[in-house]
């Protein structure tokens, strides 16, 4: 083999090493334009159903798109126009109620032109903020925040940069973003009233613990509702709020300890089924009869509440509808609506044996 031939071979091998792994370079709008024998902007117009394209041109372009299996590059689009991507920030994902909301969101969004990407905040506001900024930086077309742990002013700052709808944040005075909520104050009142109607007076609330509570949070609203109901019934002096540390692992233990206290209440309204179910479990282990020795009402009417061995009365806030409405609200805002929309859905009580009679 001559020196030239050897050199040629080496080049061939090198080219293969470089060229092989990268698949047959994805088609761009340029490739399509070339293939269809038209200009690049012409293709762009077809893609966006823009005004002023002849049928003939559209046919040609669409044929080329199919043949080349072309799909527009979202990243490039992001620099000039829309990305057709909606960002959703979830506070966390273990609470089954949030899954209802996600289902409602997807139902509406998947039927639209938009794709949905989720960020999961792990209940940490710093992580939430960085995810929101990342979504804005990705030039997403709109944001839905679910129960964010972020202050109202900061949210308003984000809303100036991107169309935004917030779920689980009771700030009906916000002008730059929309909100969709369940009436958490009313939900709590319904629960406590149901206990009062059944003759209870020693009714405590088991609430979530937060480092930095905020009037806009759902748990603050439920707390207000609890106090309202107690006061209205003249039981204000009996009001008691219990807390357990917000830590997944030892939470069940802390909840059990609560029931072992001498001053255990006769009735309990829990901010979430997550805790209410643990109460039911602990009561069974401690041979405390529900509802005769302890009446319990939870919140969210999660699927486990309805199971035969739990039978937990609970406030139902139909997360599916909340999610679907939030998605529709965002789409209408992206569509150009400027005035803020603040929706409040009414919750209802799902009566079950833990409530007593």
Partner DNA sequence: ATGAAAGCGCTAACAC
Partner DNA sequence: GTGTTAGCGCTTTCAT
Residues engaged in binding DNA (CB under 7 A): 28-30, 38-42, 44-45, 47-48, 50-54, 56-57, 72-73, 76-77, 79-81
User: H-helix or E-strand containing 68?
Assistant: helix 55-68
Residue 285 binding a copy of itself, by CB under 8 A:
yes
Residue 12 binding a copy of itself, by CB under 8 A:
no
Q: What is the largest CA-CA distance in the chain?
A: 104
Per the CB < 8 A criterion, the answer to whether 115 and 84 are in contact is yes
Alpha helix ranges (H) inside 237-334: 251-260, 273-285, 319-334
Task: Compute the least distance from the CB of residue 30 to DNA, in Å.
Answer: 6
Which residues, 6+ apart, have CB-to-CB distance to 123 below 8 Å? Answer: 91, 92, 149, 246
Task: Compute the least distance from the CB of residue 47 to DNA, in Å.
Answer: 5
Residue 7 binding a copy of itself, by CB under 8 A:
no
Per residue in 301-328, is it b (16+ CB within 10 Å) or e — as a string? bbebbeeeebbbbbbbbbbebbbbbbbb
Residue 48 has which token pair? 């966006």
Tokens 């804005």: give the residue: 136
75, 241, 253, 257: residue in contact with a copy of itself (rule CB under 8 A): 75
Pick what 65 binds: DNA, a copy of itself, none; C-beta below 5 to 8 Å, kind-dependent.
none
Q: Judged by CB, which is closer to DNA: 134, or 209?
A: 134
Pick what 57 binds: DNA, a copy of itself, none; C-beta below 5 to 8 Å, kind-dependent.
DNA
Helix or strand or coil: residue 204? Answer: strand
CA–CA distance, 15 with 116 (Å, rounded to integer): 39
Task: Compute the least distance from the CB of residue 176 to a copy of itself, in Å.
Answer: 9
Per the CB < 8 A criterion, the answer to whether 84 and 74 are in contact is yes
Task: Compute the least distance from the CB of residue 184 to DNA, in Å.
Answer: 40
Task: Compute the least distance from the CB of residue 85 to DNA, in Å.
Answer: 13
Pick what 288 binds: a copy of itself, DNA, none; C-beta below 5 to 8 Å, kind-dependent.
none
What is the phi/psi pair of residue 138, to 5°? Answer: -75, 0
Q: Judged by CB, which is closer to DNA: 75, or 172?
A: 75
Residue 47 binding a copy of itself, by CB under 8 A:
no
Per the CB < 8 A criterion, the answer to whether 76 and 47 are in contact is no
82, 123, 139, 201: residue in contact with a copy of itself (rule CB under 8 A): 139
User: Which span sits near a copy of itself by CB under 8 A: 19-27, 228-236, 318-326, 327-335?
Assistant: 19-27
- List Cα–Cα distances, 249 to 94, 245, 252, 292, in angstroms: 13, 10, 7, 29
Q: Judged by CB, which is closer to DNA: 57, or 218?
A: 57
Residue 85 binding a copy of itself, by CB under 8 A:
yes
53, 125, 138, 316: residue in contact with a copy of itself (rule CB under 8 A): 138
Task: Compute the least distance from the CB of residue 115 to a copy of itself, in Å.
Answer: 5
Torsion of CA 93, 97, 100, 102, to 10 degrees: -30
Per the CB < 8 A criterion, the answer to whether 230 and 238 are in contact is yes
Site residues, a copy of itself (CB under 8 A): 21-23, 26, 71-76, 78-79, 83, 85, 87, 93-94, 96, 99, 102, 106, 110, 115-120, 122, 127, 130-131, 133-135, 137-139, 157, 160-161, 277, 280-281, 284-285, 304, 307-310
């Amino acid at each position: 083999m001559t020196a030239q031939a050897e050199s040629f071979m080496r080049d061939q091998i090198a080219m293969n090493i470089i060229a092989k792994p990268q698949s047959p370079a994805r088609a761009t709008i340029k490739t399509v334009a070339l293939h269809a024998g038209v200009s690049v902007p012409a293709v762009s117009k077809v893609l966006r159903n823009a005004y002023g394209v002849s049928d003939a041109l559209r046919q040609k372009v669409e044929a080329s798109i199919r043949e080349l299996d072309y799909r527009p590059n979202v990243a490039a689009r992001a620099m000039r126009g829309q990305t057709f991507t909606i960002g959703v920030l979830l506070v966390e994902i273990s609470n089954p109620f949030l899954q209802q909301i996600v289902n409602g969101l997807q139902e509406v969004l998947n039927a639209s032109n938009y794709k949905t990407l989720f960020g999961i905040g792990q209940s940490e506001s710093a992580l939430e903020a960085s995810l929101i900024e990342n979504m804005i930086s990705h030039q997403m077309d709109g944001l839905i925040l679910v129960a964010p742990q972020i202050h109202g002013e900061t949210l308003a700052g984000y809303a100036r940069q991107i169309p935004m709808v917030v779920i689980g944040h009771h700030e009906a005075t916000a002008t730059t973003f929309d909100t969709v909520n369940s009436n958490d104050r009313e939900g709590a009142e319904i629960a406590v009233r149901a206990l009062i109607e059944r003759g209870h007076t020693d009714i405590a609330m088991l609430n979530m613990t937060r480092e930095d509570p905020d009037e806009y949070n759902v748990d603050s609203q439920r707390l207000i509702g609890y106090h309202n109901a107690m006061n209205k019934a003249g039981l204000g002096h009996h009001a008691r709020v219990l807390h357990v540390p917000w830590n997944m692992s030892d939470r069940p233990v802390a909840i059990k300890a609560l029931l072992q206290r001498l001053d255990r209440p006769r009735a309990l309204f829990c901010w979430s089924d997550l805790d209410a179910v643990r109460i039911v479990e602990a009561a069974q282990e401690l041979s405390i009869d529900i509802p005769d020795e302890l009446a319990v009402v939870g919140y969210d009417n999660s699927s486990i509440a309805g199971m035969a061995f739990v039978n937990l009365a609970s406030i139902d806030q139909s997360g599916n509808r909340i999610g679907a409405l939030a998605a529709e609200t965002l789409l209408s805002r992206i569509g150009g609506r400027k005035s803020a929309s603040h929706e409040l859905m009414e919750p209802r009580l799902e009566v079950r044996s833990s409530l007593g009679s």
